[in-house]
């Protein structure tokens, strides 16, 4: 059934990106981490950490002026608004604090 709704995914279409600016998402993650730590998990692998948080204004990345036909398509844009956001540091601190509870 088509709903007319969309979501962002950077990799596989069955892996939607989480909106880390949403307080419900942000508030649920420590509980998810604790759930697994309490069941004996030693840690978490977080793939593509630098791309977890996106620009909260949903701005488009600017084109990469150095990109040429034949280059990797993913480099067609400068990842100004989708990677290495300053908000990432606080998110990492929050995750680390939860992990440190289980040292």
- Name the catalytic one among 31, 42, 47, 100: 47
The answer to whether 62 touches 77, Cβ cutoff 8 Å, is yes
* Buried residues in 56-65 as b, exposed as e (16+ CB within 10 A): eeeeeeeeee
Q: Is 101 a catalytic residue?
A: yes
Q: Is 38 a catalytic residue?
A: no
- Name the catalytic one among 56, 71, 84, 101: 101
- Could you list the active site residues? 47, 101
């Amino acid at each position: 059934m088509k709903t007319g709704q969309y979501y962002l995914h950077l990799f596989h279409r069955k892996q939607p990106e989480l909106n880390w600016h949403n307080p419900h998402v942000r508030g649920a993650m420590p509980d998810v981490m604790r759930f697994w730590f309490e069941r004996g998990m030693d840690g978490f692998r977080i793939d593509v950490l630098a791309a977890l948080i996106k620009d909260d204004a949903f701005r488009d990345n600017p084109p990469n002026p150095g990109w040429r036909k034949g280059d990797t398509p993913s480099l067609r844009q400068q990842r100004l608004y989708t990677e290495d956001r300053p908000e990432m540091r606080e998110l990492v601190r929050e995750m680390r604090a939860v992990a440190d509870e289980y040292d």
